[in-house]
Chains A and B, each alone.
Chain A
Amino acid sequence: MILTLQNYWADQGCAILQPYDLEMGAGTFHPATTLKALGPEPWKAAYVQPCRRPTDGRYGENPNRLQHYYQFQVILKPSPENMQELYLGSLKAIGIDAALHDIRFVEDDWESPTLGAWGLGWEVWCDGMEVSQYTYFQQVGGFDCKPVSGELTYGLERLAMFVQGIDNVYELDFNGAGISYGDVYLENEKQQSAYNFEIADTDKLFEDFRKAQDECAKLLEAKLPLPAYEQCIKSSHTFNLLDARGVISVTERQAYIGRVRDLAKGCCVAWMEKNGWEA
């Protein structure tokens, strides 16, 4: 399925990239989306991104929820006139027949408080199941997107479950030769859930957060937005872990989100400056 999507989007002129080698909550965090969405230059890319959402861990007991899963991400800048048709073409490519299935665009606007970003769009339903997120980016890092990028995010496990007609993610056929998704990831979900919720050392995490914050500030001063942005990604993930450990109160939560947003904003500002773009 990944191959099919890659081929399809490569045919549409997308650069096929590889996953970013840092833990992140969504494919949007990949600099190929966040940073490339800024500025005037056209850009088309597609890639797989593993995502970690510590609070979604269920110790492998829930058939649909994972703290580690895969997204397929497409970014098209500027958003093409026929983007919906292109998207529907990709569903057809992976075997979803629009004459047989009920495909719907249902309002779902996207906002990332940690990235200072928002856009309008839909969640795409296939027979009542959300299979993708479709967004027209309006702002990133607090800057207006000029031009607007169109972003597509496919939940790969969900899509695979849909295509294979399977109710439990762990029963997905992984390779058509006897290996299931559970064989690959079930134990990982159990252990990582325990780590996220019970074991992760919160003092160390607080320390990590602070360090990433300091490092990011230092790198921004050195006018190195790309490594600075990596520290921002790290701080965001550390925050998510702290959140899963339940050590961040409601009021502190906002403050932490604000700090990550400030880092993200700083990186976007530095990136714009580096490229000589005006807001």
Chain B
Amino acid sequence: MADLLIELFSEEIPARMQAKAAGDLKRLMGEALKAAGLSFDGADAFATPRRLALHMTGIPESTPDVREERRGPRADAPEKAIEGFLRGAGVAREDLVERADKKGTFLYAIIEREGRAASDVIAEALADTVKNFPWPKSQRWGTKSKDSTSLRWVRPLHSILCLFDGAVVDLEVDGIKSGNTTRGHRFMAPDEFSVSDFADYKQKLLDHKVILDPARRQTLVHDTAQTLASAAGLELVADEGLIAEVAGLVEWPVPMIGSFDASFLEVPEEVLILTMKKDQKYLVTRDPATGKLANKFIFTANIEPSDDGSAVTGGNERVIDARLSDAKFFWEQDLKGKLEDNLPALEEIVFHIDLGTVAERVERMKKLSRYLADFIPGCDADAAERAAELAKADLVSGMVYEFPEVQGVMGRYYAQAQGESDAVANAIRDHYAPLGPSDDCPSEPVSIAVALAEKLDTLVGFFGINQKPTGSKDPYALRRAALGVIRLITENRLNIELEVLLKAALSSYIFIEFRRYSRGEKTILGKDVIQMHFVFEKTRAFLDDVGIFESELRYQDEISRSKAIEAGFVQPDAEPDDQAILYTDEAKAAKANAWVLFADPKHCIVDLLNFFGDRLKVQQRDKGVRHDLIDAVFAKGDDDLVRILNRVAALSAFLESDDGANLLAGYKRAANILKIEEKKDGVSYDKPVEVGKLAATEAEALSGALASAKEAAENALISEDFEGAMAALSGLRAPIDIFFDKVIVNADEADVRANRLALLSEIRSAVNTVADFSVIEG
């Protein structure tokens, strides 16, 4: 048993790739050794900016000897068949033995392979791993790159160290020969040195100013930064992701503290933090008394400078001052104008080529936000519309142009500066949220309205142009948008039917679209106002149900209809809601092309409802809710998310009770018998029971219980009392148990049998009023 040490020494590996690369090296070498029959006890991989290292322990000197017998053709088989077998098995004729069994005499090849030396296996495995390493991006370099099949690595690879049991394992990859040497820190200890084993390697690296283990570098950065901050009377904002990145940029971390001009603190801190973190990889600090950002930052150098560090610190301070003065310049520039002055510029920004400009998106969001305000307790409709109007205005500010990550955040500052209410300003900031499952979800009424409008507009638009997510592809983040809608509705306990919301979003598209036509604007979306007639024809009925923007839409509908009549596409005496009568080919073509954007609006809504169903299931499953219970409730066709989740909760609690579990068992029994008998007889027993012909008191008792339980459950459901509905059902447990205990369903008399089966069918329907029990597992 011996140890293996590998180091792949290269030019600087991007910080973000190091951890995965170390993991890949460990995995690939482990797999390759195992595949060759070489076991090992343990493996640890490490990465620094310039090296990947792997240490494996407990590897045997060689792979075990292998003896294999392989059966071939019959001894009297044609010569060709025997030759083929010899080739396949890789043995000579004289190595074959004959063996007889019941079926005849067969030839057997005895293949014996001696174990291979571990170092040979390692050499092969490592060469293979290096050649096929899964870097996210890789490159060729140097004189070898004349050939486009030359070795690819993340950056030029300079040396390979490979020691097994203290001896160099010889291998060569594209001209790089393995050895037992490496180098230390680029600036502080650049000379080559040799190592004998892992312990020696680690120690000598340390002597040469390299800390091999990224975890140790991270701890060092974290602890030193903390000490520096406390010494300055400040609190470190310990950003672990950033610390990991910093540790990937240095082999010898030397955290130091610097400061920037306090006047920059006038600029919103989100921008300051972003600049320091993203551009400079600085850790920031806060004043523990006020919680406000302090003008001191911690950066991590890769050297112990030959002076006291003042040159490095001074340099970093100059850089951050220059960067922050850029930010301050934008902040001051932006504040010279008003946020609302930016609105005309949104007309120039394309949201999506098939969905119009951002200005049009804003128009739709305004309408939708106002509409949504009615469903959100305490939401002021004017404020919602105003917030939607300004929500995207910061996209054309200098600051957001320069730092796209602070979209929304800047909008809030600029809105406050022009005197908007807090509700409006906060909604501008929050309307992108929530961005994920654990992100904060807006809870202020106006914010909820605009955040919902933003996401619904996206979802309806992209489903409308058939850009749905497929597999792992979701370029417009529609899954995230749907999850956002789900969270906004359920976490704020809003009683809204999804279908209504989706139709409202759709109608705002129609409205804006029509306005383009009526303004005579050439558009990419369709041809003329007549086509709108066909859009209305497809959507009129179901938009009417929702009653959204009724008068405006009706007016548009009339205009487009009269134009269609004028053009001779529609008979003047056709009722508005009738299917229009078309009598020219041109008219048919116009109908076929009618607003390709929503070629089939009904289908778009149905697709979206299914999409939401799937997202809700995924979300609830991630929270540990049984998906069969969600299916059972979904099958009832509800689209009020809060109601669905209440129902799921009640159902889940009920099924955990004794009554619930037994009722489910009784239901399954009834449903199974019915299924078998209905199939056998080829009829449905879903018909009224004639109580007089049940011919058993237990059956009559059950029939009575069913009727009253069903009624009670239905009444409870009307008032959304799901616990009450479940309680009503739980009363059925006893009569069902007694019925199955005492009564034989398949009675000899046909009449009695039919009636008893109809009774089972009533059990099914009574229980199914609450949820579809047939999809519940158990």
Contacts and interface: CB of A to CB of B under 8 A. Distances in A.
A148 B144 CA distance: 9
Q: How large is the interface on A (under 10, 10 to 19, 20 to 34, 35 or more residues)?
A: 35 or more
Contact of A104 (B140, B154, B249, B353): B249
Interface stretch (A25-33, A66-74, A126-134, A183-191): A126-134
Q: Main SS of the interface on chain A?
A: loop
A120 B137 contact: yes
B500 to A, nearest CB: 34
Given A40-B146, A148-B141, A62 B326 contact: yes
B251 to A, nearest CB: 11
Contact of B141 (A64, A101, A136, A165): A136
Contact of B142 (A80, A102, A127): A80
B305 A128 contact: no
Given A128-B316, A136-B141, A99 B305 contact: yes
A138 B140 contact: yes
Nearest to A99: B306
Among A78, A148, A165, the most chain B Cβ lie within 10 Å of the Cβ of: A148
Contacts of B349: 250
A126 B315 CA distance: 8
B552 interface: no
Interface stretch (A1-9, A105-113, A203-211): A105-113
B141 to A, nearest CB: 5
B139 interface: yes
A21 B545 CA distance: 69
A148 B152 CA distance: 12
Interface stretch (B296-304, B447-455, B511-519, B667-675): B296-304
Interface stretch (B11-19, B105-113, B435-443): B11-19
Given A40-B146, A148-B141, A128 B320 contact: yes
Given A61-B329, A100-B307, A250-B350, A129 B142 contact: no
Nearest to A119: B139
Interface string B263-306: 00000000000000000100000000000000000010111011
Nearest to B158: A81
A47 to B, nearest CB: 23
B142 A147 contact: yes
B311 A144 contact: no
Contacts of A64: 322, 326
A99 B280 contact: no
Interface residues of B, number: 50
Nearest to A42: B143
Contacts of B141: 78-79, 136, 148, 150
Nearest to B140: A148
A122 B143 contact: no
A102 B326 contact: no
Interface in A45-69: 61-65
Given A120-B155, A148-B141, A167-B321, A105 B11 contact: yes
Interface in B690-720: none
Contacts of B137: 109, 120
Interface string B133-160: 0000111111111111000001110100
Contacts of B312: 100-102, 127
Contacts of A109: 137
Contacts of B146: 40, 78, 146-147
A78 B305 CA distance: 34
A146 B147 contact: yes
Nearest to A121: B155
Contacts of B299: 128
Contact of B139 (A65, A80, A100, A136): A136
B145 A101 contact: no
Given A79-B142, A98-B187, A165 B303 contact: no
B348 interface: yes
A120 B139 contact: yes
Nearest to A162: B315
A100 B311 contact: yes
Nearest to A81: B142
Nearest to B138: A120
A257 to B, nearest CB: 16
A97 B348 contact: no
A64 B328 CA distance: 13
Given A119-B139, A127-B312, A138-B140, A100 B11 contact: no
A109 B144 CA distance: 21
Interface in B392-450: none
Contacts of A148: 139-142, 145
Given A61-B329, A136-B156, A101 B305 contact: yes
9 contacts: A64-B322, A78-B146, A100-B312, A102-B301, A105-B49, A128-B299, A136-B141, A146-B145, A249-B350
Interface of A: 40, 61-65, 78-81, 84, 97-107, 109, 119-122, 126-129, 136, 138, 144-148, 150, 162, 165, 167, 249-251
Interface of B: 11-12, 14-16, 49, 137-148, 154-156, 158, 187, 249-250, 280, 299, 301-303, 305-307, 311-312, 314-316, 318-322, 325-326, 329, 348-350, 353
